[in-house]
Amino acid sequence: MHPVLRTVLQRIGLGLLTLFLVTIIIFSSLSMLPGGFAEAVLGQSATPETVAAFNHQLGLDRPAFVRYVEWVANASRGDFGDSYAGVDGSIKRSVTDVIAPRLYNTFFLAIMTAVVAVPLSLFLGVVTALHRNSWFDRMINAATLTTIAMPEFFIAYVLIVFFAIKHRWFYSLSTVDPSTPFWEHVYRATLPSLTLMLVIIAYMMRMTRAAIINLLASPYIEMARLKGISPARVILHHALPSAWGPIVTVIAFSLAYLVVGVVVVEVVFVYPGIGQLMVDAVSSRDVPVVQGCTLIFALTYILLNLIADIIGIVTNPRLLHPK
Query: Is CATH 1.10.150.120 the right assignment for the domain spanning 99-320?
Result: no
* CA pseudo-torsion sign 276, 282, 287, 290: positive
Cβ proximity of 102 and 277 under 8 Å: yes
Kindly report the pTM of this predicted structure. 0.77
Query: Which pLDDT value is given to residue 196?
Result: 87
Q: What angle do CA 199, 204, 126 make, to 5 degrees?
A: 130
- Name the pLDDT band for 89 (thresholds 50, 70, 90): very low
Query: Which pLDDT value is given to residue 44?
Result: 64
What is the residue extent of each domain of the chain? 3-80, 99-320
**300 vs 147: CA distance, rounded Å:** 25
321, pLDDT greater than 60: no
315, pLDDT greater than 70: no
Cβ proximity of 75 and 27 under 8 Å: no
Strand, helix or coil for residue 179: coil
